[in-house]
Structure formats: C-alpha cells, structure tokens
Chains A and B, each alone.
Chain A
Amino acid sequence: MTYLPKPKLHHPALPKNAIGLTHRDYEGAISTLCAGCGHDSISAAIIQACFELDIEPHRIAKLSGIGCSSKTPTYFLGTAHGFNSVHGRMPSVLTGANLANRDLIYLGVSGDGDSASIGLGQFAHCIRRGVDMVYIVENNGVYGLTKGQFSATADKGSKSKRGVVNTDSPIDLVALALLLGATYVGRSFSGDKPQLVPLIKGALRHKGAAFLDVISPCVTFNNHKGSTKSFDFVREHNDAVNRLDVILPKKPITADYEPGEVIDVPQHDGSILRLIKLEADYDPTDRVAAMDYLFEHRARGEIVTGLLYVEPHATDLHAELGTVATPLNRLGEAELCPGSAALAEFNAAHR
C-alpha cells in the first residue's frame, strides 16, 4: 500500500468560501479505509466544517493516535501538518503541541480503542486540563485496525460478528468528558451530516476542551444485527436533543424562531451557538442536568445526541498557566536567556 495523491483538478465553477478556497482545498489523500466506513463520513464533515468556517487549512494541526480512525487525518486538510503518534497517546502530544503554539487550531482524532481502552488516562487528563482543542472520537465499539475485537465502548450484551457477547460494562466518553470538565461536549452519528457538521464547527470555534463522540459504524466488523454500533441500531435509537446552528460574528441571523424554541450561547470570539430545541426542556448549559438526562436516557437504551453541554465562558490551559500571548515557539534568546550578568549573580549567591 502506498500513498495516493488526489488529483487536484480545480473546476472553475467550484464554489469558493470567504478566503477564496474551494472544498477541494480542504481535502487530503484518497482514503484507504473500507468502502462505507463511518470514519470517511466524519472526514467529509470535518472538511465541510472547515470550508464553511473559512479556516486556512494550514492553521490547523491534526493529531491522532493509532487505529483506522487515527489514520483519517491523512484524508483531509492535506496542506496542514499532521501527527499520527502512538496508540492512545494523542492527547499528550496534542497538549505539548498546543503549549508550543497557542495560535493554531488543534484537532485530535482518535478511536474508541485509542481513547477509551489504552488511552483512557490521557483522554481524561487532557480534558481535565482544559486544553484548547477539538477532540473527536470516531466510535465504532471495536478495534477496526486489529480486526474487530471489542473496545471499551462496546455495550454490555452487544454481540460481535463472530457471535461473542460482550460482558463488560461500556465506558461512556461523553459522560466522562462532562464529569472531567470539558467545556463543549457533543455526540453525533457519522450518518447524520446535518447534525455533525455544525457540531464540529461549534467545536472549532470553541475556546477550551471540546469533545465530540461520533458514533461511526465499522462496516467490516461491527455493523451486524446484535451490534449496538451499527447503522440500523443507531438510527433507531437516536435521541437528538437539539440542532445546532453556528452563527459567525457579524453574519446576519437569518431564520426566525419562536421564543422558547432556541437557546443562543455566545462564544468568546463573538460567534453564537444557536441551539434549536428538539427536546423541550433540555438545557445545554447545565452540566449536572446534562448528566442526569444522559444517564436516564441511556438506561432506556437511547443514544442521546446533539450539543449536550457548552460553557459560555470557557477558559483553556494557557489561561490557567498564564502564558504569554506570543506562541512559545516564537520566543528567542532575547526573551528566553537571562544572560551572563544574571549568571554572575547566580554564581555569587552560590559561594
């Protein structure tokens, strides 16, 4: 298997966004995943979200762990730097990258095995620290790349392709993210692009730890009857609490809604997260209520999706640490080295 560059034939009629780029400019290499894999739909949603937000692709750093899901950063934003790190450790690498340059957007892509099994610790700690990032788990309940073993998000009682029943309790990454202080938490489904794209957009505009659990069926190993991560199962059990519309600063608000139908959550950068309520009394700015709702509905076998929680006044790790505004990787001797006079003083104090 080798790298397949995608032919870049720009059709003059392709629509351009505000910075003059076409959809094509946000693509990457041709995917080598199985045809129909949910992960490819998520890549497409990322491409669309970035296109619609007029983001310069090279201002994003893509980081991932290991797995089919973690391979996907090659398949979008080809002009952005990417780092396919080691299994389960993307969060630490992303944290370091973020510390080095606070001016880029950090997009972490991971799998359920990568984040809930081997990498659960790193997942938890980077959320706790409030690293400014978009963290997407492409959740298929199995290890795709190692051929279909259960992962830690597989539901108890769900059946593998070979008929083995999972007896372990599942780890719900959304519940964990809420508990650990993530300031933007959503769940979606790779098969629901209208829901997913705005959720990614909101996450990209959010300042703080944004986490998205995207159920992404593995067509090869986990899309059969008896699986709770199959296309059919997710469609049947999807309980969407809201629809999100990301309104950029200075953009006119077009659609009108009846009072009570929408919740507007302003973001630090002036954009507005407009949530159209599908569940009448779901309040996405109430962390505890979100957790309650999640647990209640999970017990009924429902998969709660939508923007489940957002903190309007979120902060990030840099704010907590009090680092300078200039990215650390741009500081030079003048800012960093105290020089020989200070050293002479240091020496004198150690005699």
Chain B
Amino acid sequence: MTAPIRAVNDFVVKFANVNGSGSASANRLFAKAILRMGVPVATRNIFPSNIQGLPTWYEVRVSEAGWLGRRGGVDLAVTMNPQTFEKDQAELEPGGYLFYDSTRQLPDSRFRRDITRLGLPLTTICNEHWSDPRQRQLMKNIVYVGALARLLGIDMAELERLVGEQFKGKEKLIEPNVEALHLGFEHAGRELAGACGLEVRRADAVGERIFLEGNAAAALGCVYGGATVCAWYPITPSTGLAEAFMRQCERYRIEPETGKKRFAIVQAEDELAAIGIVIGAAWNGARAFTATSGPGISLMQEFLGLAYFAEIPAVVFDVQRGGPSTGMPTRTQQSDILACAYASHGDTKHVLLFPEDPAECFAMAADAFDLADRLQTPVFVMMDLDIGMNEWLCRPLAWDDSRRYDRGKVMTFADLEAGREFGRYLDVDGDGIPYRTYPGTHPTRGAFFTRGTSRDRYARYTEEGPAYVDNMQRLLKKLETAKKLLPAPELVPAAEPTRFGLIAFGSSMPSVREALARLAEEGVHLDTLRVRAFPFSRAVEEFVATHERVFVVEQNRDGQLRQLLVNECGIDPARLWPVLHYDGTPVTARFLIRAVLERLSDAKVVPFRKAVS
C-alpha cells in the first residue's frame, strides 16, 4: 500500500472541467482564498481552442516556499469531467487524492488502488437544493469549492469575503453562493472528515504581491506608456491584451469635460492592416501598438521590414503560442524568437524584449514605447501564453510620477524655424539615430518623403549603391546604440564558484529558479543570466566567454535564442548546451533538473543520478 501523501502548503491541485460550465470563476475563487491566507499559488489554465463542451484544466500549485513554476505531477485531482476521468486519475502521484462526483456509483475497477478516493454526491446535493437546471450546474462548482475548503482547511471567511467582492453590485447573488459554499463544506465534514492529508495553513509568504495576468498587465503598461492607437486582429492568446486595453482606456482615458476618448482602437480586418495602422499612426507621431501571436507575425512581415527601413517606432506584442497556425493554438511556447528577431525580407534586425512575469510585462510595455521612439524602430515585447493568459503572483506594479515620456529625436516647429539643419536620415549625433518630423509641423521646412525604397541622408530617392550601404551601416550603428539602452541582463551568481552557466528568459524563469535551488542542494552550481533583450549586450557575450559551458533554456524545438547567440555573438555552438521544452505545457523544474543532470553526466561532470523530484 502506498501511503497517502501528507503535505502542508506544498502540493498541486488540478481541476478537470468542461469548457463553458462556469467552473473558471469557482476555481479562481479557490486559488485566491489560498492566496488570502498568505500562501503563494501558481495557477495555469490548460484549455482547448473551443468555446463550449471540450475539456479544460486549471492547475493550482500551492507553495509556501514560493515556487511559481509548474511543478509537474498532481496530488489532488478534482475531476468534474467524466470524459477525462481516466486520464486525470492516471496523472495523480502515487498516494494522491481523487475528488469526484459520486452520484453515479462507479465500480471499484475504475479506481487506482494507490490513491485515496474523495467522493461526494455533488449532483444529488445540487438537485436537492436547487430546481433551476442552470443554477444546479453553476452551483455545483461552488459546492465543490466549499467541500475542498473543508478537506484542505481553507478559511471559509476568506471565501465568503471573496464572494462578496466578486458580486459587488449584484448582491442578490452573494447569498446563494455562500449557501453553496457551506453546503459543500458541511457535506465534506460529514462524509469525508480527515480523509485528506493535504493542508493549507495560514502563512505570511505572499506579502505585497499581486495576482495578475500578463495580458492585462501589458495593456496597462500601454495605458501608462501613453499609447493612443491600438490596431489588432483577434488571435489567442493575445486577444486578452487588446481587450484589456479597451477596458482600461474606458476607465482611465476619458476626457472628463467631454466624455470623449483619448484613444482609438480599431479591430482591423487582418494583421496586415493592424500593423499598417500602427505604422501610419506612429509615423504621424502617436504611440501605437498591436498585439498578436505567431500567425499574425507571419502576416506582418513585409510591413515590419518597411518599419525597420523607414524607421517607424511601432510596438508589437507577440503573445507566443505553439506553431504552426493549425497546430497548438492554445498551448504555450517561445517559438517566434527568430521570426521576430529577423522579421521581413532584406537585411533586418529587430529589438526584442523578454518579460519574465506580468509585472515586467507592465514595465516593459511602457518602456517599449520610449525605446521605439528613441530608436525609431519596431520593438517586440515577447510574451507567451503562459504569462499572457494566466494569473501570476508577482510584485506590485510601480510607476514614478516624475517620469516623462521619451519621444526621441523629433524636430519641432521651433527647431525648424530656428534654422536647424534637417536630414531625415542624417546621423547628427553619431549614434545612428536621425531626427524626424511629424507631418504638418512647418509650412516650408522639415517635410520628407518616407519610402521603402532607398534614399539618401536627406530622404531623397536614389538607387545609388553607396547611399544604400551608407544607410544600412547607420542602421547597424543604431542597433549598437540600442544595446546600451535596452534592459540589461540579470546575473545571479551561484553560491559557489562554477565553470558552468545557464541562460534563460521569459516565462521559464520561475521553473529555472526552482531547478537551480534544487540543483544547488545536490551540489550542482550554475551561474545564471536572465536575458531581457535582443540585440544582446556585451554582458551576455562576457557571460558566455567566462563559462566553460552554458545551458540555454528555451521553450521551442530549435533552440532559437541559442541560434541568435551563435549568430550574433560569434559563439562556438559547442559551448552552448540547449535545454529545450516544447510540448506546449510550461516547462517544469523537474524537467530542467533532469536535463541538466543528464547533460553533465554525459559530459562526465557529475555521476548520473535520477533527476531529483
């Protein structure tokens, strides 16, 4: 007999539901109640590309230690979808718990023997209590949350408070929901008392942190960063970003005297038009952005080249998902790195930012507009489904009220009037960044013609080779300047001196941090560098140069960031060990630990051990 798992503030609960059944808000209630008890949680939606009827999952990792990556494995399965009952049960760790609706008797043969069954007749309970079929269905979700509260020791007062907040303004709904919570709580108390060895205990490990989706955070960053034009075309997982921007603008961007809007949002006919609108608006001096995912990036290629060459400050959010477009649209990946870094035809190279969590999505979104204006080039904020569509526990968002937007080098009417020389592509300051003017600035000075074909330093059309080369060299110089302005990589030295390093970025970071801590306990030490931007700064090259071998962790098949490192920094590929996870689920610490140990043992650095779990 496997002993039932016993754990306090350190376990994984996975809810299995049917899409569209109203379970999402109940599951969220569960997670937030634990947070309110001061215990960190990491939640992840796993959902189909479908609106109703297909299976969906919600994973809650409870971790007082604060590990926010996906752990892998499940300790308590809440199986509310008969379709996936077998699969959900199979995922349980030995000694785990299976919570299910026992209204319909299931034969013993349907259950694993090494797990504990927690059956409650949810359907019967709800049918007895409510007559309306839709209400029965919705309340079932709340009843199981109440039952879980009893089983895990979640504070009912927190749950009740959350229900009150959720239905603020719709007070009529509070009472039945609270009633449902208690119904579940009492039934579990009567029928399953003491059956579950998992426990939530009040702690003080959450602090000031907030619980927020990356898409909403990035959208708010656009509001704070002064974006006024948004053009987009719906695509999962980026849709939420544009929709959040809409909501937040309605809240923060209404002119008080007139009720008019200090923003313009256009749902374009496709991604080509979306980026075209952004380019037109940015050319004309507004801060503009689009939010999309891989297939949209593909459609935008020609325009992105134009923006690069015409030096237009466009901001693009790429909330990455599995490719190709017909493949895994609702699964996470970091697989558009190359597509964005070198987007378009001809010689192009773009600025990429890699936020690691929603708080950084907010900060980098706002920064992206300053960078785009300063550098006069497209800036990509490389998010992914995991960050974009899941609520993450992260540091609170911060804004310095003394901050002023950096609109970059823009010549004003006064500048032109004073007789300052204007050449649209003239490198006056030696940093590769020329001055621009907005249309309509001055009656006789500062106008120029923007083209995708070549021109000289004064924006005059030319097909002369030397003028073209001159311009392309200046664009390279501009990217050198970019390296100094972009967010620097974040170095975390290992506790002990080591010959080995690890490079990672974006949503992999929580799992990377956990893996590093566990590896250190095993005596394996790695210096870590979190890359936050492309083109890479000198610090990235130095990091690789000062380590014998460097792991590069990414969530794609081809080691795209590693390819960039090899290409752009001239690094010997043999020195960069790829660690690649790309099945569409977020990478786990377990996976990383195993990959690192296997590689080190292949290289005879450490004796092979089974991955620590």
Contact = CB atoms under 8 A, between A and B. Distances in A.
Given A86-B303, A99-B229, A336 B280 contact: no
A347 B258 CA distance: 28
A100 B440 contact: no
B283 A93 contact: yes
B310 to A, nearest CB: 8
Interface in A336-351: 336-340, 342-343, 346-347, 350-351
Given A2-B460, A74-B461, A96-B284, A338 B223 contact: yes
Interface string A309-326: 000000000100111110
Nearest to B284: A100
B268 to A, nearest CB: 7
Contacts, number: 236
B226 A337 contact: yes
B487 interface: no
A332 B410 CA distance: 14
Interface string A122-137: 1011000100000000
B334 interface: no
B399 A61 contact: no
A335 B262 contact: yes
Interface in B276-331: 276-286, 288, 302-303, 306, 310
B447 A79 contact: yes
A93 B277 contact: yes
A101 interface: yes
B440 A59 contact: yes
Contacts of A85: 276, 279-280, 306, 450, 452
A328 B264 contact: yes
B242 to A, nearest CB: 15
Nearest to B391: A350
Nearest to A324: B260
Interface stretch (B400-408, B497-505, B538-546): B400-408
Contact of B266 (A59, A66, A129): A129
Nearest to B314: A96
A103 B438 CA distance: 13
A100 B281 contact: yes
Nearest to A77: B447
A122 B276 contact: yes
Contacts of B253: 336
**Interface bin, chain A:** 35 or more
Contacts of B456: 3
A54 interface: no
Nearest to A104: B440
Contacts of B209: 351
B40 to A, nearest CB: 12
A63 interface: yes
B181 to A, nearest CB: 21
Contact of A84 (B210, B277, B452): B452
Contacts of A56: 443
Given A85-B306, A322-B261, A323-B264, A96 B278 contact: yes
Given A3-B462, A74-B461, A97 B210 contact: no
Interface string A279-322: 00000000000000000000000000000000000000010011
A79 B450 CA distance: 13
B228 interface: yes
A154 to B, nearest CB: 24
Contact of B273 (A3, A122, A324): A122
A82 B440 CA distance: 11
A125 B268 contact: yes
Given A84-B450, A321-B261, A324-B258, A99 B286 contact: yes
A95 B263 CA distance: 14
Interface in A1-35: 1-3
Contacts of B272: 89, 92, 122
Interface in A113-146: 121-122, 124-125, 129
Contacts of B263: 323, 328
Given A79-B447, A83-B450, A104-B439, A329 B284 contact: yes
Interface of B: 35-36, 208-212, 220, 223-224, 226, 228-229, 231, 252-253, 255, 258-266, 268-270, 272-286, 288, 302-303, 306, 310, 396-401, 403-405, 437-444, 447-453, 456, 460-464
Interface of A: 1-3, 56-59, 61, 63, 66, 73-74, 78-86, 89, 91-101, 103-104, 121-122, 124-125, 129, 318, 321-325, 328-329, 331-333, 335-340, 342-343, 346-347, 350-351
Given A83-B450, A347-B396, A351-B211, 4 more contacts: A94-B280, A96-B278, A101-B286, A104-B440
